[in-house]
Each structure stands twice: as C-alpha cells, then as structure tokens.
Amino acid sequence: MAGPVLRAGAWPAVAGLSGVAVVVGGCGAAFPAAATVLFPICFALLAAAAAFTLDEPASQVVDVTPTGTVRRTTIRAMALLAPLATGTLVLLAAALRGLALPWAAASLALAGNVLLGFAAACVARTRTGEPGAAAGTAIVLVLLAPSLVPQVARWVRTFPAPGAGGPSSNPVWWAVLAGCVAAIAISVGGRRPRHRPASAARQRWT
C-alpha cells in the first residue's frame, strides 16, 4: 500500500524545491556573511516542499477508497524525509565550513519550518486535493514576514542569529511545533471525503 501512495505524490515539486533549497543553502554555507539571510530562505523553500507532499491530483477517486485518511497521510509524511534530509545536509555543509551557528536552535528551526509546511498542507487538504501551491505560498509569505516587515522583526525571529541580541527563535518554533501537531491531528481526524460517490447519493434517494 505504501508504495503506490508514495508513488502518486508530487515528487517533481518536492524534489525540485529541495534542489533549489540546496543551491540557496549551499550559497549560504559558501558565503558565511550571507548565511543568516540565505538559510531562512532555504528553510522556507523546504517548508514549501513539505507543503507539496500531500498533493493528490486524483483526490476525487482516492478520497473515497477504503484506505483511511490517517493511513494515507502517515504514508505521505514519509516524503518529509526529503526536505528534512536536504536541510540537514545544508547544516552539515555549514558546520564543515566552520560557520558559528547555534546548531540546536537551527535544527529546531528546520524541523519547525518543515512541519509548518506539512501542517498547512494537512489543513488545506480538507478543502482541496492539491493544496501545495496555495499552502506553500502562504507559508513562504508567513516565514518571510520577519524579513519583510520591520515591525514583525522586532517581536519574532524565525532563524537563530549567532551572537545577536533581540528575541530568540526557540520559543516561536516550540509553539509552532505544538500548534502544528494539534492542527495535523485535528485536520486528519476530521477529514471526510468531499465527493460522495454517485451510487451512494442515488441510494439515499431511492
């Protein structure tokens, strides 16, 4: 069962976004002065990749099969290993280049970014079969808000800056992780097939 469910995933999108993230993160590792700008962009791309893991072009058929939502989502969650592995690779490259980042906080930020993208996809999947584009865009805009809006940057930081003052990113990501787990549990538990089979609809009226 896991094989076909995984095979139907939006792998070109997940792999493509992860590939772009590797390039951006690689530039961050190669140019340490730009790391604190490029790593958040790399992580945002990985969050967007995670948002595409639940895309199901044949959702009208798949949603009414006997395989439950929880099972399908659990199998698809295995695809999160791709963005997580990519992020880990980028952090390892940065460590090998001798970058002085707070590694625990950076790893937490990576996990938080990826889980945020997946949670957004889970929530959006209750409304549409292919939530990747909308969820990915929304997540990217949210994750870039501290960089784009100075008022937000005063209060929220999404990436740990080495030795800088200001707010820590850890409380944000712990809160996001808790919120994501709750959102995933609620959306997966409450998801029902949106498209009633025609035969079932007929039976109801005859």
Partner 1 sequence: MTATLAPARPGADAGRTAFAALAACELRRFVVNPVFLLAVVMTADALWFNRSGSVTEIDTANPFPAVFLGGFGMMATFWLTRSMRASEPVTGVTPVTRPTRTAALCAVAIVPFGCGGLALLAFLHFHPVGDPVYGAFSPPARIAVLAGQILVPSLGGPLLGVALGRWVRFPGAAFVLFLILYGWVSLVTILSMSHPGSAPVAVLRLFAPFAFFTYTANTADVTAWRGSPWFFLGWQLALCAIAVLVALLRGAEGQVRARIIRALAIAGVAALILLVLAGTGGFTHAVTA
Candidate residues 6, 8, 20, 93; the one interacting with partner 1 per rule CB under 8 A = 20
- Please write down the long-range contacts of 20-25, taking CB distance under 8 Å and 24 or more positions apart: 20/45, 21/45, 21/46, 21/49, 21/83, 21/86, 21/87, 21/90, 22/86, 22/89, 22/90, 25/86, 25/87, 25/89, 25/90, 25/93, 25/94
From candidates 2, 31, 68, 194, binder to partner 1 by CB under 8 A? 31
- Reading the block at residue 118, the tokens are 């997946």
Q: Does 137 contact partner 1 by CB under 8 A?
A: yes
User: 46 vs 106, which CB is nearer to partner 1?
Assistant: 46
And the tokens for 24?
């951006």
Site string for partner 1, 42-81 (x = CB under 8 A): --xx--x---x-----------------------------
**8 A C-beta contact, residue 130 and residue 62:** no
Q: Which is nearer to partner 1, 24 or 106 (CB)?
A: 24
- Stretch 172-201 residues interacting with partner 1 (CB under 8 A): none
Q: Which is nearer to partner 1, 69 or 130 (CB)?
A: 130
- Of 48, 40, 46, 23, nearest in space to 161 by CA: 40
Distance CA 15, CA 159 (A): 23
Nearest approach in angstroms of CB 45 to partner 1 is 6
One of 15, 34, 156, 177 touching partner 1 (CB under 8 A) = 34
Q: What is the x/- site pattern for partner 1, positions 88-127, by CB under 8 A? A: ----------------------------------------
Q: Is the separation of the CB atoms in 43 and 18 below 8 Å?
A: no
C-alpha gyration radius of the chain? 19
Find the shortest distance in angstroms from Cβ 190 to partner 1: 26
Interface pick for partner 1 out of 9, 136, 146, 160 (rule CB under 8 A):
136
Shortest spacing between CB 154 and partner 1, in angstroms: 11
